Amino acid sequence: MSKIYHLEAIRGLFAIVLGCVLLPLCLENCAATRPQSSISQYQFSYNNEVYRIRSIFMVEKDERYNELIGKNLLAIDFDQDRILDRISIGTASLPDAQKVYDYGLEMLTKENRLRELTPANHKYTEEKADLYLEMKSFYPENGKPFNQIKIISKKQIVYPEFIVAIDNEADGKIDEILKGTVSLEKVQKYYSDLIESGLSKNGLVKADGSILVRK
């Protein structure tokens, strides 16, 4: 169900004609600086602060991810699904950083600079009578694995309620709600039920105190 988004790189020269400078909000292809990678950037302002969304495709590792970069802030969207997964630098909360990220992506969408791709990452999903449940496990290079859970309501067809929560330790306990107006206790109930069902169906695995999507 998830959709992956990344910034569409502009290849070739981005016109500097007769000494004119690049537009203040620009999208540029930086592949020349990293031969094995494709990097696109978009700069925008939010609440009088300057931010960048950087979309990276590591060809040699077949990895794609987005970064939200600001003053003393680096947040990562590991699977390019419009949801930030981790704050790598800075003290901002994920929900606050997500607001900035949402705004930047909205600007990109309006300017037709966002391209949709088919997701290829591992996940575990279940469908209930009125809900879609999705769990993804992430494995940062410099950190412990963690889980993200999404809950999508079927009741609102056009704009369904969208809940996203994080289990930072992959220990079966929800630590933070990133999107949605619901209590942590209610999300925990959905998560616990999903874990129990996923383990019984062999879609999830428990190892070394962590509960993760089976690769």
pLDDT in tens, 45-77: 999 999 999 988 877 666 788 999 999 999 999
User: Distance (Å, rounded) from C-alpha 2 to C-alpha 15?
Assistant: 35
The pLDDT of residue 11 is 27
pLDDT score at 117: 59
pLDDT mean over 194-211: 94
What count of Cα atoms within 13 Å lies in the side-chain half-sphere of residue 142? 5
- Report residue 139 CA to chain centroid gap: 14
Of 66, 72, 35, nearest to 53 by C-alpha is 66
Mean pLDDT of the chain: 78
Instruction: Say if residue 4's pLDDT is above 50.
Output: no
| Stretch 31-38: mean pLDDT | 53
Question: How large is the average pLDDT for residues 159-185?
Answer: 87
Least confident range from 6-20, 91-105, 122-136: namely 6-20
Mean of pLDDT values over 79-106 = 92
pLDDT exceeds cutoff 90 at 2: no
pTM of this prediction exceeds 0.85: no
In percent, the amount of the chain with pLDDT more than 90 equals 49
Q: What confidence tier does 154 reach under pLDDT thresholds 50, 70, 90?
A: confident
SS3 content of the chain, % helix, strand, coil (to 5): 15, 40, 45
Measured between alpha carbons, how far is 98 from 212 in angstroms, rounded to an integer? 24
Q: For residue 63, what pLDDT is reported?
A: 74
Q: 162-169: long-range contacts at Cβ-Cβ below 8 A with a sequence spacing of 24 or more?
A: 163/187, 164/83, 165/191, 166/85, 166/94, 167/191, 169/144, 169/210
With b for 16 or more beta-carbon neighbours within 10 A and e for fewer, the 55-80 pattern comes to bbbeeeeeebbbbbbbeebbbbbbbb
Model confidence band, residue 156 (pLDDT cutoffs 50, 70, 90): low
Q: Which alpha helices (H) appear in 8-48, and where do they start and end?
A: none
Does position 214 have pLDDT exceeding 80, yes or no?
yes
How many Cβ atoms are within 10 Å of 186's Cβ, its own excluded?
14
∠ CA(199), CA(134), CA(63), 5° rounding?
A: 100
pLDDT tops 90 at residue 143: no
Lowest-confidence pick of 10-14, 119-123, 141-145, 202-206: 10-14
